[in-house]
Amino acid sequence: MIVASTIASCRSELNQWRQAGLSIALVPTMGYFHEGHLALMRKGRELCDRVVASLFVNPTQFGPHEDLAVYPSDYDGDCRKADQTGVNLLFSPKTDLMYQQAHQTTVQVHELTKGLCGKDRPGHFQGVTTVVAKLFNIIQPDFAIFGEKDFQQLVVIRRMVADLDFPVKIIGHPIVREKDGLAMSSRNVYLTPEERRSACILSKTMHVTRDAVLAAADHLSVSALLSQAKTLISGEKNCSLEYFTIVDEHSLTPCDVVKGKCRAMGALRVNERIRLIDNMPLY
């Protein structure tokens, strides 16, 4: 596996691949690889001749009171895991390379970023779309693979790609879960054993909601489902609910009744320290 820390060295290798007619998949990450990341890399191997994983903790998507300074990292372990998974190039730039001192340009998707995580994380998605746009310009992949755990992010990036005519196909990969149902996340490492047991209430509530929808003979009222979900989560003493809602998968607008491609989406905080998100299709 090649490790590139500069744009020039990354592009030099990519140019050779393109001249050889090889297809390229990109897996953007912030590192601290777990099975969820590795599943995206394996999907890239299925789709393309070469896989590039980016490893960059993007400061512009963190708010002033979020965990940028302590975001978990294991560079050597990440390199080993990526290599063993079949990644051909790991692009790991420094912050001052991605955002030079005179940097003034951002990319923003408007309506899709207003609700859900965007409501409580102002500026987050602008940071995401800006860095992803930069990665698309640097790597110029044929495919880019994103996990569905950050489902709003996936929808926002698809919108950006369509609006700005990026010649890349976006692939969403289903959530990879721990044995206890918790959606895999680099932030899970923050959880104590007791907090982890509490955090599972979010995925359990997703399953309860989905089971109720699948068992119903007719379209269900969303208000009744949300009331049940909020009751379940409020009963977990270590957790405070940020949001739990049911939305249309494409527009992310709230649903009145569950029909078509709807998805339950939620975010909670465990002991106010750790913010976790999850979602589940209701079909």
Q: What is the DSSP string of 178-215?
A: -TTSPBP-GGGGG--HHHHHHHTHHHHHHHHHHHHHHH
CB atoms within 10 A of CB 127: 19
37 classed as catalytic? yes
Active-site residue, from 34, 37, 103, 173 = 37
Contacts of 252 (CB under 8 A, 6+ apart): 112, 115, 116, 152, 155
- Both tokens of residue 238? 């270590």
In whole angstroms, how large is the CA radius of gyration of the chain? 19
CA-based max dimension of the chain = 59
Tracing tokens 């060295």 back to the chain, one arrives at 9
d(CA 211, CA 244): 16
Q: What is the DSSP string of 242-274?
A: EEEEEEETTT-PBPSB--SSEEEEEEEEETTTE
Q: Could you tell me if 240 and 261 are in contact, meaning their C-beta atoms sit under 8 angstroms apart?
A: no
Which residue type sits at 134? Answer: K
Q: Could you tell me if 31 and 75 are in contact, meaning their C-beta atoms sit under 8 angstroms apart?
A: yes
Catalytic residues: 37
